[in-house]
Structure 1
Amino acid sequence: MDTLIFGILLAVSLLIIFSKSRWLVLGSWAVGAIATLGLFAYHANDVLDLSF
């Protein structure tokens, strides 16, 4: 899952660099941002098994 989101972020960054369409750039950025925030929300709720 993490690798897929990083691949999406790479594709979005390449699209931002090479695309002329503003709406395509903004839409792909929004998809990447939502995927990243979803991954953060998934991992932020995990319990850490720490023993000191």
Structure 2
Amino acid sequence: MEVRLRKTSRKITVSNINHARKAAKNAINLYNEIRLHLSLDYKTPNMVYKLSA
């Protein structure tokens, strides 16, 4: 099974569904909790969400 990550054009090969789930979870975590976003004033989506709550 092969998974392609859109924006980076990076391909990863997964051996089973559990590996695919773990890769997806890691990508979502990176996007929401680690990667800073220019459109959010160099904050993460989670930081913005917590500030608005």
Greater share of residues in helix: 1
Q: Which has the larger radius of gyration?
A: 1
* TM-score, normalising length: structure 1: 0.42
Greater share of residues in strand: 2
* TM-score, normalising length: structure 2: 0.41
Q: Which has the higher contact order (CA 8 A, sep 6+)?
A: 1
